[in-house]
Structure 1
Amino acid sequence: MALITTTLPREFILDGRKLADPNPAMSVDEVRTHYTGIYPALNNSSYEEQLTERARTITFTTSIGHKG
């Protein structure tokens, strides 16, 4: 019996907005860097991953702080 492996698609979420996966071979940090030009808030963001039966969902959380 052969094992069959499948790769779940990734879903990227930022402020409730779904972002396309630019390249499945990119790491999450590379995807974040890719989108930084369009969404500058990603520079200081963190992310959480959630695994479901249909997808691997990565949600970016921006942290806006104040100086001083």
Structure 2
Amino acid sequence: MSIQVQQMERIFKFNGVRLPDPNPQLDIDGVRDLYASQYPELASASMRTETVKDRLLVTFEKVIGHKG
């Protein structure tokens, strides 16, 4: 019996929008940095990951705070 390794499909979500995986070779921080030019709030966003069936769901969430 051999073990097969499969890469999980990654799904990225931000502000209710599903973002395509730009490059499976990038780590999650790299994906966030790439999309930060399009969505500036991502630069300081937190992230939550969960496994759903055979997919990795990564949700970026705005950090709510106040200016000092």
1:1-68 equivalences under 5 Å are 1-68=1-68
Q: Secondary structure at the match of 1:34?
A: helix
State the shift of 1:40 in Å.
Answer: 0.3
Cα distance in 2 between the residues matched to 1:5 and 1:30: 23
State the shift of 1:3 in Å.
Answer: 1.3
**Identical aligned residues as a percent:** 35
CA RMSD of aligned residues (A): 1.0
- What runs of 5+ residues in structure 1 fail to find an aligned partner? none
Q: Segments of 4+ in structure 1 off by > 2 A?
A: none
- What runs of 5+ residues in structure 2 fail to find an aligned partner? none
Q: What TM-score, normalized to structure 2?
A: 0.91
Q: What TM-score, normalized to structure 1?
A: 0.91
Q: Give the paired residue count.
A: 68
